[in-house]
Structure 1
Amino acid sequence: MSGAPSTWRFDAIGTVWDVVTDQPLSPPARDRVRSRIDAFDRTWSRFRPDSTVTRIGRGGGVVDLPPDAQPMLDALAAVSEATGGAVNPLVGASLDALGYDPQYSLEDRGPVAAPADWRAVLAWDDARLALAVPATIDVGALGKGRLVDLVLDMVRDEAAGDVIVDAGGDLAVRGRPQRIGLEHPFDPRRAIGVWEVTDAALCASAVNRRSWLSATGSSLHHVLDARTGLPVRTIAATWALAPDAMTADAVATALFFDSGPRLAHAWDVAWVRMTTDGRVEWSPGCDADLFVRTDNVER
């Protein structure tokens, strides 16, 4: 940042946000950002009883197409197809069944696969969003990235100069390059590398975030294979660098599955991921500075 930057830190959608600008945002500008985040949450949060997805999910039905639905659902459809259904926007009931529910019960009631035919259940066009049967829409695969993009656009309209919007590790940078540490998924005090981000977005996902133990002592987390309703066990953490945060977030999710690198290549997204046995993989041309042994890498 040029000069001494100003950091606005606040909590929203269950995570800590840092908005860094050359000059402090005015109180009215901050209110507008908070209002935009709340409007997004009121539409898409499956944790809120008053949200659009909760209301339509109770019995199915049709609502006016919410803002941001078209780009997010179109991208989710592409990721679902690329991963053979492992990513699914109706995975909400699967997360609920394992205890990651609106009550945060953390009570494992056994795996529930998401509807394989979700395109026959969930439909959208230029005007409407429709659910044919009761179901729980979950846009967690890329929703936070989309919101980071929306907040970034608002902040850039309000503040000149360099801008960083960081929502719990999903971040977008405009202006001066920023060196971002890649947190080790098994030890948050360490990093597996550093990635310089310039006018781009870097999104991460890891199994150590939103994790809990079942009553039987098995380790559970929020990254599920929708085809089985079970947590992913082979990948520990992913990072993706793209021009916008929604794309980076979507690819970071896809990278938990074997076909993720193919989607990243098709979308021209650079990536790094770490397996649960400690190996580090990265995409051709990735310029992250990784702190890895040469006998523990795969390119």
Structure 2
Amino acid sequence: MNRVEHIMGLPISLKTGDGDTDGGTEGDASAASSAADLAFAWLREVDARFSPFRPDSEVSRLGRGELGSHELSPDLVEVLDLCERYRVESGGAFEVRLPGRGLDPCAMVKGWAVQRAADLLVAEGVTTFCLNAGGDVVSAGRPWRVGVRHPERSDRLCTVLEITDGAVATSGRYERGDHIFDGRTGRPATGLLSLTVVAPSLTEADATATAAFAMGAEGVDWAAGREGCEVFAVDAERRVLRTPGFPVAA
């Protein structure tokens, strides 16, 4: 199965492999399709509830002061707790409440939500899949090859990696310009051109990539020092920095 939907402002694709579920061959395609329905429904729900661009979302209402802490859903509490954790661990570089910009937890929500969608697939018995949210990927069941776009050439890749039962996320300036801000200064982060993190979950990979990118050059070592994380980065001087365990495809 190969399915694509446009959610959260980006294409999200799901590709499943042979023998997608644990129940044998008969009915596997139908079971995988039903699991995909649940995963994509969850992602649409997240977009409706947590988008800062929807005035009726829970995040927008919280940002306007219309909700108290006791009125928040458990999911939003979890997301905000994760945001605070990464804010502290990055020394303030990861910040979802920048002055003049309101509450915007998108840097946490995407990876967290897509990882939850992957967990739904696994719970429904889908054992082999690649879930790709605009280049941030969760894989399971077999090795999947993931290309990382060159930060200055849209028609080229700067590396190709291979992951099994893990996740990869990239933060950079090439798609949306200077959209990642260093919470310590309030200014756009410009010390790196791109930074890719491989981690056990997309929650960890995406948040670590964003936080490290916001930190600039010092973020490479910070990300590399996190348990289970491997890093590939291109700095502002176009130097390539890579941890020894980064899973480059053969």
Give me the TM-score of the superposition, normalised by structure 1.
0.71
What residue is the counterpart of 1:133 in the other structure?
Answer: none
Asked if 2 retains the 8 angstrom alpha-carbon contact of 1:239 and 1:252, the reply is yes
The percent identity for this pair of structures is 30
Unaligned runs of 5+ residues in structure 1 are 1-5, 95-135, 212-220, 291-299
Distance 2:226 2:170 in 1: 19
Alignment of 1:232-251 (within 5 A): 232-251=189-208
Partner of 2:38: 32
Quote the Cα distance in structure 1 between the aligned partners of 2:186 and 2:222. 23
Deviation at 1:185, TM superposition (A): 1.1
- 1:28, 1:198 → 2: CA distance? 23
Partner residue in 2 for 1:285: 245
Alignment partner of 2:11 out of 13, 16, 36: 16
> Pick from 188, 192, 195: which aligns with 1:231?
188
Are the structure 2 counterparts of residues 70 and 288 from structure 1 closer, same or farther at C-alpha, using a change threshold of 3 Å? farther
Deviation at 1:43?
A: 2.2
1:14 is displaced (CA, Å) by 0.3
Counting only pairs closer than 5 Å after superposition, residues 89-100 of structure 1 correspond to structure 2 as 89-91=96-98, 93-94=100-101
Q: Partner of 2:225: helix, strand, or coil?
A: helix
Q: Label 1:73 to 1:261 Cα distance change in 2 as closer, same or farther (>3 A).
A: farther
Say whether residues 1:141 and 2:101 are aligned partners. Answer: no
Structure-2 separation of matches of 1:70 and 1:196: 34
1:7 aligned onto 2:2? yes
2:58 — aligned with what? Answer: 52
- CA-based RMSD of the aligned residues comes to 2.3
What is the alpha-carbon distance in structure 1 between the residues aligned to residue 43 and residue 165 of structure 2? 22
Q: Return closer, same or farther for 1:54/1:190 CA change in 2, 3 Å cut-off.
A: same
Q: What is the TM-score with the length of structure 2 in the denominator?
A: 0.84
> Match of 1:115?
none
Whose helix proportion is higher, 1 or 2? 2
Match of 1:66 in 2: 73
Alignment of 1:1-299 (within 5 A): 6-22=1-17, 24=29, 28-59=34-65, 61-63=67-69, 64-91=71-98, 93-94=100-101, 136-211=102-177, 221-256=178-213, 257=215, 258-288=218-248
Offset at residue 30 of structure 1 (A)? 4.2
How much does 1:142 deviate? 2.3
Separation of aligned partners in 1, 2:67 and 2:49: 15
Residues 238 and 252, structure 1, Cα contact 8 Å, conserved in 2: yes
Could you tell me which runs of 5 or more consecutive residues in structure 2 were left unpaired when the two chains were aligned.
21-28
Letter in 2 for 1:85: G
Look up the SS of the partner of 2:156 in the other structure.
strand
For 1:295, the equivalent position in structure 2 comes to: none
Q: Secondary structure at the match of 2:231?
A: strand
**Bigger-Rg structure (1/2):** 1
Find the counterpart in structure 1 of residue 25 from structure 2. none
SS in 2 for 1:188: coil
1:66–1:260 CA distance, 2 compared to 1 (3 A): farther
